Amino acid sequence: MDDRRPTANNHDSAKLLKLATYASVTTAAVLIVVKLAAYITTNSVSVLASLIDSLLDAGASVINLFAVRYALAPPDSEHRFGHGKAESIAGLAQAMFIAGSGVFLIIESIERWVQPRPINELGVGLAVMVFAIVATLILLVIQAYVIRRTNSVAIKADSLHYKTDLLTNAAIIVALLLSQQGWYAMDPLFAFGVAIYILYSAGQVAKEAFNDLLDRELPDDQRDDILRIATDHPQVLGAHDLRTRVSGRTVYIQLHLELDDDMHLSESHKIADNREAALRQAIPGADIVIHQDPASIVERRIDDVIGTGENGPS
């Protein structure tokens, strides 16, 4: 399963996220210029598809830039849990951008299928697509490193549609070569295929953004790890009521520890602090709330549930 936990501290994360957003905006701007020149020269609908995708990439990257800056702002009196969900909102906005480009390309490719046109200056188109592939690969390497360190939803979304760009550019090279051999229908056909893949990618981005906005629990294997760490103490008798969620780069954890009934409050507090420190070491930057319960209360709850059953008290 995908590990949603960030590994960098807050200061390093801020620097990495800013690096990724600036690199994304710069790459998109450069690609827009070269692809616009290539489309004017070649009149290829596949190149137009790539140009439109880069325009939307630029818009999405600008949204990312502002969203990440906002998400990095510390908690305040009106946002006590911070501003991390701005990243998920940005991811959702990017999904709409990506879906819009997919719909436009479907319409444009159908029109060009009905009225095929020859492609001019094949060499220019191929050179631009190769340049776009190299620039995109460099950006993806930067984004992959940032994602590993921060687990940013916004950068994940940005990286996903740049990966689609990589496939788009490779497909366009094939389409240009086939069209030059007289297979003009290949140009709109490849554009249509790219459009379908773009729509699929939009769905994936939207799904992850929705999950974070709706406070979906961490994957089961990560929850199991949290419970294992929480109970890895000789005086901890168990744990229950674990609740988790992710907001931006912060993982939120709430759980109840089961301790001996006769334990002093100061001792139970010390144990809870110990388990919190262990969890924070495993999940840097996590926001953790641990409640201490006497074990007998937990046992009585279980007995009440068993005694009540589905049909009421026995």
Q: CA 40 to CA 20: how far, in whole Å?
A: 30
**What CATH number does the domain located at 10-213 have?**
1.20.1510.10
Q: CA 259 to CA 19: how far, in whole Å?
A: 46
**pLDDT at residue number 226:** 95
> CA quadruple 37, 38, 41, 43: dihedral positive or negative?
negative
Instruction: Using a pLDDT cut of 70, give the percent of the chain over it.
Output: 83
**What CATH number does the domain located at 220-308 have?**
3.30.70.1350
> Could you tell me the pLDDT band of residue 307, with boundaries at 50, 70 and 90?
very low
What's the whole-model pTM score?
A: 0.55
- Cα–Cα nearest to 108, from 51, 69, 68, 170: 51
Q: Do residues 86 and 94 make contact, with C-beta atoms less than 8 angstroms apart?
A: no
**pLDDT at residue number 11:** 63
Domains 10-213 and 220-308 share a fold: no
Rounded to the nearest integer, the mean pLDDT of the chain is 79
Q: What mean pLDDT comes out for the span 277-292? A: 90
With vertex at residue 284, the alpha carbon angle to CA 83 and CA 256, rounded to the nearest 5 degrees, is 90
Contacts of 304 (CB under 8 A, 6+ apart): none
- pLDDT (tens digit per residue) in 48-68: 777 877 787 777 777 767 777
**pLDDT at residue number 305:** 44
Q: CA 109 to CA 45: how far, in whole Å?
A: 7
Asked if residue 134 has pLDDT above 90, the reply is: yes
DSSP, collapsed to helix, strand or coil, labels residue 181 as coil
> CA quadruple 36, 108, 103, 50: dihedral positive or negative?
negative
Q: CA 119 to CA 75: how far, in whole Å?
A: 55
Residue spans of the domains in the chain: they are 10-213, 220-308
Query: For 233-273, what is the HEC assignment?
Result: CCCCCEEEEEEEEEECCEEEEEEEEEECCCCCHHHHHHHHH
- pLDDT (tens digit per residue) in 25-34: 888 889 899 8
- pLDDT (tens digit per residue) in 82-133: 777 777 787 787 788 778 777 877 877 787 677 666 666 667 778 888 898 9
